[in-house]
Amino acid sequence: MDLALTDVQEAVRDTARRAARELLAPEAARNDAEERFPDQTLRALARLGLMGINVPGEFGGAEAGAVAYAVAVRELAQGCAGTTVALMVTNMVAETIARFGSEAQKRRYLPSICGGEWPAASFCLSEPGAGSDASALTTTATRDGDHYILNGTKAWITSGGHAGLYLIMARTEPGRSSKGISTFLVEAGTPGLTATRPEDKLGLRASHTTQIVLEDCRVPVENRLGDEGIGFRVAMTALDGGRIGVSAQALGIATAALNTAARYATERRQFGAPIASTQAVQWMLADSATELEAGRLMCLRAASLKEKGQPHSREAAMSKVFCTEAANEICHRAVQIHGGYGYTREYPVERHLRDVRVTRIYEGTSEVQRIVIAREILKQWQ
């Protein structure tokens, strides 16, 4: 149950719930096993209004807000976490353009993203040598008349090779740390932009993750997103919202795992009774349900602050570290409740365990979240 949702938020949640059940869940196991990128499913989600949930309606978005986005992601992740992460990153790119883009950029790109003309969009910040320390990125953007020339390599790029648009952070002023970074919108097919083969990942195997190699990639000046030098602020703003999305994704994966484990516990019999009758299993279920409820409230709080335009960096970080670590433990318990069967592909809990693990890493590791939280706490004493 979601407390105090508006009619619009409930409608988005219900649409996502149906999509998870009818579109995502039936193909989740096959997509995972075959590493199939769900391009047609993503286009179908766009037609349902789920690819621009927090984007103004005049640009093709649903204009439903950050809370609606969080509840939609939680529902979708119960169906297929790999498909959901592609949707999450696409929504993040669309929101970033809506916030920082020019009128021309919004009208050029947002309808294509929100309407499903492109199956996905990609957010390109990390590099092989710049992960948690994103300000250390070395990709360069050199001004050449009415173009910039981009050179460098981006890493861990969701939907690389499938996206219609790449939002890329590059250094326009050498030696200025985070203040010398700018943001660019680069369309798929632009000469000099190449996606490598997908990484062979533990989980989220329906989501293709690649490197993006930029070799003398010429980008028009009008494709710079915002002023020169604000790229790091653009990235951090996007990641605050992205952490809310990852919280919701983790909750969705863990909810699916808990539901499967609870059902299995009522069916599996040992020592003449369902294993659900044992205190050990009951306590695992009880702890998992309690953690899910706490995480849900933390995620909605952070989303509500974002929706109101209030500071939410600390709350987003708190939500992410709590929800993702709790979700990992819940998925571990689900496998344990299944016993040996949980270690096989006969039941989906092994996939949930593999899928949830990365939520403690991407959009800022749990360790980085704790740094963010501590920094916010200490501000009042400094």
Dihedral of the CA atoms 137, 121, 242, 152 (nearest 10)? -10
65: left (phi over 0), alpha (psi -120 to 50) or beta: left
DSSP 294-309: HHHHHHHHHHHHHHTT
CB count in 10 Å sphere of residue 112: 17
β-strand partners of 356: none
* Active-site residue (options: 346, 363, 367, 376): 363
In single-letter form, the type of residue at position 234 comes to: V
| H runs (alpha helix) in the chain | 7-19, 25-34, 39-47, 66-79, 81-100, 103-115, 231-267, 279-307, 313-338, 349-357, 366-379
Closest CA relative to residue 53, chosen from 335, 369, 45, 198: 45
CA-atom Rg of the chain in angstroms: 21
- CA–CA separation, 324 and 278 (whole Å): 27
Q: Quick one: how far is CA 264 from the chain centroid?
A: 29
- Sign of the CA dihedral 366, 120, 304, 226? positive
Residue 95 structure tokens? 């929101």
Closest CA relative to residue 208, chosen from 338, 66, 85: 85
Helix pair 39-47, 103-115: axis angle to 10 deg: 110
**Cβ-based neighbours of 52, under 8 Å, separated by 6 or more:** 46, 59, 60, 61, 62, 91, 94, 110, 113, 114
Closest CA relative to residue 94, chosen from 67, 113, 115: 113
Residue 365 structure tokens? 């590791």
| H runs (alpha helix) in 159-312 | 231-267, 279-307
- CA–CA separation, 62 and 55 (whole Å): 6
- The yes-or-no answer on residue 103 being catalytic is no
- CA–CA separation, 61 and 43 (whole Å): 14
Q: Which of the residues are catalytic?
A: 363
